[in-house]
Structure 1
C-alpha cells in the first residue's frame, strides 16, 4: 500500500520530523496539532478555549486538505495538561462535530510542545 503525505499552509508547518498527515489507502492519520497560528507559528493568545478552537481549526485544515471533513473522523485523541478543562473541550467539540461522534480518548499529560495546554490527533476514513 502506498502512503501519501498531506500538507497544507492553512495549518502550522511541522515543527519536527513528521508530516501533518499521512494517507494510506482510504485512511488518513492526523499528526498532533497544538494551538499554533499557521501564519506566525506562535501559540494563539487567549485562554484555554481560544487554544482549543485553534487546535480544531488546524485539524480541520489538514482534514480538508486530505479531501475529508470532520464527519470522516473515526478516532480523536485529546491531550490536556489540566483535565479540569475536560468540560470546555466537550463544549468546543460540540461546535465542530455532529452525531455519531468519533471514538475519543482524553489523556492528561505533564506538558506539551511550546507550552500548549491542548493537543489533538486523530484518524479519518474517506469513502
Structure 2
C-alpha cells in the first residue's frame, strides 16, 4: 500500500512539474509577444509636417501634409501660385492639372507616387465640369484608383477656386 501511495505521489509530482513547466513556457511566449507589440507601436509615430508654400500656409494656418508612421494626410490642393493667388482663373481643366502637379510635389517629398494614394477626395463648385474632365485622372492613376468621394460644394476658400483635391497616402516600408 505504501508503494502504491509513493507511486501515485511520484506521478502527481511529475505531472505537476511538467504542467508548471509548460505553463512557464507559455507565459514566456506571451510576454515576448507583448514586448514585440509594444516595440511596433512605438516605431516612428512622431508627426512629420511638410509645407509646400510655408508663408501662405502659415498665413492661412495649416500644413500641407503630415506623415505619421506609414500614413500621410495631404490637405486639399488648389490652383495657386507661391504667393497664394488663384491661378488659371475660370479654366477648370488647368486648375485640376495644377492641383495634381502640387500633389505630385508633396508625394515626391515623401518618396511616394500616386500609386501610394489610398483615398482621394475631390471638392468642386462645378460638378458637371469635373465630370467632363475626370478622365484626366487616368493619366494620374495609372495602376489603380483610390477610394474617395467627389463632392459638389457651394464655395471653396477663395471664390476663384473651382476644385480642391485632398489625399490620404499609405507609404510602403522599404
TM-score in terms of structure 1 length: 0.88
Q: What is the DSSP-based 3-state SS (H/G/I as helix, E as strand, rest coil) of the residue aligned with 2:84?
A: coil
Give deviations 1:71-108, integer Å, cap 9, x for gaps: 10000000010111232342221221113111121001
- Measured on the aligned residues, the alpha-carbon RMSD in Å equals 1.9
Q: Distance between the aligned counterparts of 2:60 and 2:66, measured in 1? A: 15
**For structure 1, which segment, 111-120 or 42-51, has the greater mean C-alpha deviation from structure 2 after superposition?**
42-51
Q: 1:107 aligns with which of 147, 151, 156?
A: 151
Q: Distance between the aligned counterparts of 2:55 and 2:125, measured in 1? A: 21
**For structure 1, which segment, 84-93 or 69-78, has the greater mean C-alpha deviation from structure 2 after superposition?**
84-93
Alpha-carbon distance change, 12 to 90 in structure 1, aligned in 2, over 3 angstroms:
farther
- Please say if residues 19 and 31 of structure 1, whose CA atoms lie closer than 8 Å, have aligned partners that are also in contact: yes
Q: Distance between the aligned counterparts of 1:86 and 1:7, measured in 2? A: 27
The structure carrying a bigger strand percent of its residues is 1
For structure 1, list consecutive stretches of 5 or more residues without a partner in the other structure.
Answer: none
The structure carrying a bigger helix percent of its residues is 2
The residue correspondences of 1:4-43 to structure 2 (distance < 5 A) are 4-8=48-52, 13-14=56-57, 15-38=59-82, 40-43=83-86
Q: Distance between the aligned counterparts of 2:141 and 2:101, measured in 1? A: 12
Q: Which structure would you say has the larger RCO, counting Cα contacts within 8 Å and 6 or more residues apart? A: 1
Moved over 4 A (4+): none
| Residue-pair matches, total | 125
Partner of 2:87: 44
TM-score in terms of structure 2 length: 0.66
For structure 2, list consecutive stretches of 5 or more residues without a partner in the other structure.
Answer: 1-44
Partner of 2:168: 123
Alpha-carbon distance change, 5 to 72 in structure 1, aligned in 2, over 3 angstroms:
same
Q: Distance between the aligned counterparts of 2:52 and 2:156, measured in 1? A: 22
